[in-house]
């Protein structure tokens, strides 16, 4: 590494590489003598993180470590996020896939939010406005956020993949969208990891199975994922249905089914509010009773 970088950054990069190798089934890695020397000479908080991690893999640097390293304030967070945005714009790996469109759709909201929503990838509307969740699914998400007594400006909203996935060669795709695949998510995952490190939310909400799979590196039905406890980079992750799923159900004749799914999402949000320590009014608690 030629540039001088904060230790937390190095830790993030290294943990990303190790995590990827581990998910590919690697159990051992050769380390060059010079690299080993550099690692062992790194400051003590780096080594503690390494020792605390499972099975000898370096753990992902979590928000509290970051807090200790730097003076966190909104100005700092904006600057850091801006730097990540610039990195996304020049992401060679993302471009080299050839399956993602050109425009970057980064994130929106409070750079120091307690609550972070993470979706899968932008769609046509998002690409047009260069903002996540501004199309129909975004309007549904806004309703959910408002029902929690919050505004979009108070939370942080982002996606794992920062470019709209191409359909075919992307030339004639009009408004049709597709989910990102695992390669595309893998190419972009380091960005959301860095965003989490900067924003340091108390809770992450993964919207839908694809976002959950990208963050948690495990598939599965939302019905079971939402019942389990998860973590990403040391931050609790709550999995819930994607707002598009709610919209699809609303457009179908079975109103009871649609209401049941909305109720589940709302139950998840009540858990999130409780976890953050937000007050929950009687009205909020009784929305679906
Ligand atoms: N769906 C997502 O997952 N993200 C968006 O930004 C819009 C729709």
**Most informative mutation of 108, 126, 152 for ligand 1 (most atoms within 8 A of CB):** 126
Structure tokens at 35: 């690299």
Q: What are the tens digits of pLDDT across the range 29-67?
A: 777 766 666 665 554 333 333 333 332 222 233 344 444
Q: Is the pLDDT of residue 169 over 70?
A: yes
Ranges 3-12, 104-113, 241-250: which has the least confidence: 3-12
Q: What are the tens digits of pLDDT across the range 144-166?
A: 999 999 999 999 999 999 999 99
Q: How far apart are CA 101 and CA 128, in angstroms?
A: 12
pLDDT score recorded for residue 21: 65
pTM of the model: 0.78
Within 13 A of 134's CA, how many CA atoms are on the CB side? Answer: 15
CA of 97 from ligand 1 middle (Å) equals 20
pLDDT score recorded for residue 155: 98
Q: Is the pLDDT of residue 17 over 90?
A: no
Q: What are the tens digits of pLDDT across the range 61-81?
A: 334 444 455 789 999 999 999
Q: Are residues 108 and 41 in the same domain?
A: no
CA of 238 from ligand 1 middle (Å) equals 17
Is the sign of the CA dihedral 166, 171, 172, 174 positive or negative?
Answer: positive
> 180: Cβ below 6 Å to ligand 1?
no
Instruction: Name the more confident of 62 and 23.
Output: 23
Q: Are residues 95 and 8 in the same domain?
A: no
pLDDT score recorded for residue 31: 73
Parent domain of 25: 1-63
For residue 70, count other CB atoms closer than 10 A to its CB: 13
User: Domain boundary at 63, 98, 113, which?
Assistant: 63
> 165: Cβ below 6 Å to ligand 1?
no
Total number of domains constituting the chain: 2
> 120: Cβ below 6 Å to ligand 1?
yes
| Structural Rg of the chain based on CA atoms | 20
Q: Are residues 123 and 2 in the same domain?
A: no
Q: What are the tens digits of pLDDT across the range 242-285?
A: 999 999 999 999 999 999 999 999 999 999 999 999 999 999 99
Residue 61: C-alpha distances to residues 49, 152, 211, 230 (Å): 7, 27, 21, 16
Q: Are residues 20 and 144 in the same domain?
A: no
Rounded to the nearest 5 percent, the helix, strand and coil shares of the chain are 50, 10, 35
Q: Where are the beta strands (DSSP E) in 92-189?
A: 100-104, 108-109, 115-119, 156-159, 163-165
CA of 47 from ligand 1 middle (Å) equals 37
> 132: Cβ below 6 Å to ligand 1?
yes
Ranges 7-16, 39-48, 175-184, 275-284: which has the least confidence: 39-48
Q: Residue 147, Cα to own-chain centre: how many angstroms?
A: 22
Q: Are residues 214 and 263 in the same domain?
A: yes
Residue 50: C-alpha distances to residues 42, 46, 53, 65, 76 (Å): 11, 6, 5, 13, 26
Residue 203: C-alpha distances to residues 39, 50, 122, 131 (Å): 31, 24, 22, 21
Q: Are residues 41 and 82 in the same domain?
A: no
**Closest Cα partner for 233 from 265, 266, 204?**
204
Give mean pLDDT, residues 173-198.
Answer: 97
User: Domain boundary at 35, 63, 91, which?
Assistant: 63
Highest mean predicted confidence (pLDDT) among 18-32, 59-73, 184-198? 184-198
Q: Are residues 191 and 172 in the same domain?
A: yes
CA of 77 from ligand 1 middle (Å) equals 23
**Closest Cα partner for 115 from 77, 143, 156?**
156
pLDDT score recorded for residue 227: 96
User: Domain boundary at 41, 63, 85, which?
Assistant: 63
Contact 184/99 with Cβ under 8 angstroms? yes
Q: Is the pLDDT of residue 130 over 90?
A: yes
């Amino acid at each position: 590494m030629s540039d001088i970088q904060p230790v937390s950054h190095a830790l993030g990069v290294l943990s990303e590489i190790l995590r990827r190798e581990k998910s590919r089934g690697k159990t051992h890695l050769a380390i060059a003598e010079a690299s080993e020397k550099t690692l062992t000479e790194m400051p003590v908080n780096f080594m503690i993180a390494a020792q605390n991690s499972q099975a000898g893999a370096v753990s992902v640097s979590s928000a509290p470590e970051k807090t200790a390293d730097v003076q966190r304030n909104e100005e700092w967070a904006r600057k850091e996020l801006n730097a990540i945005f610039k990195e996304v714009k020049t992401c060679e790996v993302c471009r080299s896939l050839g399956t993602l469109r050109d425009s970057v759709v980064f994130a929106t909201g409070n750079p120091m939010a307690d609550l972070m929503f993470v979706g899968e990838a932008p769609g046509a509307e998002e690409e047009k406005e260069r903002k996540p969740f501004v199309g129909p699914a975004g309007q549904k998400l806004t309703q959910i956020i408002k029902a929690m007594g919050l505004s979009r400006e108070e939370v942080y909203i982002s996606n794992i993949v920062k470019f709209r996935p191409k359909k075919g060669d992307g030339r004639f795709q009009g408004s049709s969208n597709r989910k990102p695949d695992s390669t595309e998510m893998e190419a972009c995952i380091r960005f959301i990891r860095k965003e989490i490190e900067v924003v340091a939310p108390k809770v992450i909400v993964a919207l839908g199975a694809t976002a959950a799979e990208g963050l948690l590196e495990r598939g599965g039905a939302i019905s079971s994922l939402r019942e389990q406890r998860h973590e990403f980079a040391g931050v609790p992750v709550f999995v819930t249905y994607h707002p598009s799923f709610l919209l699809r159900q609303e457009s179908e004749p079975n109103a009871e089914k649609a209401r049941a799914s909305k109720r589940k999402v709302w139950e998840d949000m009540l858990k999130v509010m409780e976890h953050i320590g937000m007050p929950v009014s009687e009205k909020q608690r009784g929305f679906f009773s």
